[in-house]
Amino acid sequence: MTITAARMAAVDRNAAALDVSTKQLMESSGHALARAVRDVAEPGDSVAIVAGRGNNGGDAFVAARFLASDFDVAVSLLGRPETITTDIARENWAALQAAEIETKRVLDSTALDLGDPDVVLDGVLGTGVTGALREPERSAIVAANKADATVVSVDVPSGMDADTGDVADVAVEADRIVTFHKLKPGLEGRDDVTVADIGIPAAAEMFVGPGDLLSLERDPTAHKGDFGRVMVIGGGPYTGAPALCAQAALRAGADLAYVACPDAIAGEVQGYAADLIVEPFAGECLQPRHVEDLLADAAERDVVIIGPGLGGANDTLDAVRDFLAGYEGTAVVDADALQVVPDVDTDADLICTPHQGELATMGGPRVDDWEERAALVAEFAANLGATILVKGAYDVISDGETTRANRTGNPGMTVGGTGDVLAGITGAMASTQDSAQAAAIAAYANGTAGDAVVEEQGYGLLASDLLGAIPTALWGER
Ligand SMILES: NC(=O)C1=CN([C@@H]2O[C@H](COP(=O)(O)OP(=O)(O)OC[C@H]3O[C@@H](n4cnc5c(N)ncnc54)[C@H](O)[C@@H]3O)[C@@H](O)[C@H]2O)[C@@H](O)CC1
Ligand SMILES: [K+]
């Protein structure tokens, strides 16, 4: 199992939210590095530590503190201490000064002199490298490769892309690599790598947390359409459900939300919100005769959400079946529409959002213990070939490969309509994220919105109260 740089940053942030700070992780990283250096060095050997200004360098500062009593340690910082990019790395640099451990500042590429060390510890660049190599980092990498020393790299050999293993320019030729938490994809197949457990709790990966929202950062050059055109197919016996769902999609950042609904209720749906683009079809409920037109419209949109307020009439369910059979994009399936999923033959990428009763109707597992449920839902999702988000006190999300759980939300959210809101957020997320991640973020944000509303006003929450709280849940405090 490997982990990408982006996922690692998310897990790190989730760990911090679980009260395991990045500084604690850095301490573990530095300790693991010091152990690796001890394995290749004799007491009294000289150890040249080359550190960049990010957390990769911070790990190396910690290692220096662990090694200084038994080795001849000298730390070279590539740049001025004021320009160290993170507080925790800067604090660990300060700790070296306070302990009177030998440090040097390398202010230009010609100033780096490693001497003739027995060991070089390479903390120049880790997973945070971006763009072409700059100075003095580039020269430091070249100097490390020239040294007649055993080279130990921190996390990844500096200059290498951790996700791909690509070296665009030069990279440190490491004899040993100590990587943290999990193997990085770019290091796969090498026999010189140690994976160090740095104390990240399993919960930081299992439970959706604020780190999962890091992928929602927006590029300032984005334009209309980049964040999704979401189409809700819903309504008939109910009018509020599709309107709530489509509004939630907008609050979750979709650019445009379309509601395809029977013309008998179209005016009512539009009346709830001017922001919606209502596209009526003839009659009082969805029927097979509407499917051809809906498929043509859906092909122009990024994501479809089918189910909210549709009802469970036989011909409506037939229409859902026909629609999914002909659709090839991403579809969030909710409410009555869920029951057709097990026997539909489709090329669509489905995200099903059942509560536990609906999951049982689909032929899925019904167990009380959430961890047991998670394992069974993963199996069920794999067999179905779909992503499933099972709503509950602990929401479970799985695409059969990745399984997550969500703990946000509260008993006030058992009120009608919150599921429509969740489906809407899921649809918006699915236009920029892969399906399992979209569902995970949606569950987290929906619950966070509900928690914010209840904190402010107490119970008595309406699903429509959630709408205004969605943006802060997604883009507020990280
Ligand atoms: N995410 C985690 O959970 C943990 C990460 N840790 C360490 O943190 C590292 C990632 O730290 P950061 O995100 O601070 O990033 P890095 O330390 O990998 O690199 C960022 C620094 O490099 C400079 N830089 C970036 N691209 C450059 C280029 N092309 N040429 C020259 N300089 C360049 C930046 O200005 C910045 O100073 C990991 O590799 C690992 O060593 C550990 O501290 C423990 C926990
Ligand atoms: K490194």
Angle at which helix 240-251 crosses helix 463-475, to 10 degrees, equals 20
| pLDDT computed for residue 222 by the predictor | 78
**Rounded to whole angstroms, what are the CA distances from 161 to 131, 149, 185, 343, 468?**
10, 23, 9, 44, 40
Atom in ligand 1 nearest the alpha carbon of residue 28 = 44
121-143 average pLDDT score: 96
Query: Rounded to the nearest 10 degrees, how much is the dihedral formed by the CA atoms of 286, 291, 297, 301?
Result: 80
59-84 average pLDDT score: 97
pLDDT, one tens digit per residue, over 144-202 is 999 999 999 999 999 999 999 999 999 999 999 999 999 999 999 999 999 999 999 99
Q: Which residues surround ligand 2, an ion (CB under 5 A)?
A: 56, 122, 153-154, 158
pLDDT band at residue 110, thresholds of 50, 70 and 90? confident
Distance (Å) from CA 274 to ligand 1 centroid: 46
Least confident span in 70-84, 97-111, 252-266, 269-283: 97-111
pLDDT at 38 exceeding the cut of 80 = yes
pLDDT at 478 exceeding the cut of 70 = no
What are the residue boundaries of the structural domains of the chain, listed by start? Answer: 5-200, 210-475
Annotated binding site for AMP: 419
Question: Per the structure block, which two tokens stand in for 158?
Answer: 């500096």
Could you please state the CATH topology (level 3) that the domain comprising 210-475 is classified under: UDP-N-acetylmuramoyl-L-alanine:D-glutamate ligase (3.40.1190)
Pocket of ligand 1 (CB under 6 A): 8-9, 12, 22, 25-26, 29, 52-59, 85-86, 125-134, 137, 154-155, 180, 198
Please name which ligand lies nearest the alpha carbon of 160.
2
pLDDT, one tens digit per residue, over 188-216 is 999 999 999 999 999 999 999 999 999 99
Distance (Å) from CA 369 to ligand 1 centroid: 40
Q: What rounded mean pLDDT belongs to the chain?
A: 96
Q: Give me the percent of the chain exceeding a pLDDT of 70.
A: 100
Atom in ligand 1 nearest the alpha carbon of residue 8 = 1
Least confident span in 42-56, 105-119, 334-348, 433-447: 105-119
| Whole-angstrom distance, CA of residue 12 vs CA of residue 30 | 16
pLDDT at 234 exceeding the cut of 80 = yes
Annotated binding site for K(+): 56, 122, 158
Query: Which residue has its alpha carbon closest to ligand 1 atom 36?
Result: 54
Could you please state the CATH topology (level 3) that the domain comprising 5-200 is classified under: Rossmann fold (3.40.50)
Distance (Å) from CA 20 to ligand 2 centroid: 23
Distance (Å) from CA 61 to ligand 1 centroid: 13
pLDDT band at residue 226, thresholds of 50, 70 and 90? confident
Atom in ligand 1 nearest the alpha carbon of residue 83 = 37
pLDDT at 224 exceeding the cut of 80 = no
Is the peptide bond preceding residue 136 cis, with omega within 30 degrees of 0?
A: yes
74-82 average pLDDT score: 97
Distance (Å) from CA 143 to ligand 2 centroid: 14
Atom in ligand 1 nearest the alpha carbon of residue 198 = 44
Q: Give me the percent of the chain exceeding a pLDDT of 90.
A: 96
Q: What is the pTM of this model?
A: 0.94
In 98-251, the DSSP E strands lie at 103-106, 119-123, 150-154, 176-180, 193-196, 229-233
Break the chain down into helix, strand, coil percent, rounded to 5: 45, 20, 40
| pLDDT computed for residue 218 by the predictor | 79
pLDDT at 360 exceeding the cut of 70 = yes
76-97 average pLDDT score: 97
Pocket test for ligand 1, best of 7, 23, 24, 56 (most atoms within 8 A of CB): 56
Q: Which amino acid is at 103?
A: T
Nearest CA among 193, 152, 154 for reference residue 174: 152
3-state secondary structure 355-402: EHHHHHHCCCCCCCCHHHHHHHHHHHHHHHCCEEEEECCCEEEECCCC
Distance (Å) from CA 371 to ligand 2 centroid: 37
pLDDT at 315 exceeding the cut of 90 = yes
pLDDT band at residue 221, thresholds of 50, 70 and 90? confident
| Whole-angstrom distance, CA of residue 45 vs CA of residue 73 | 8
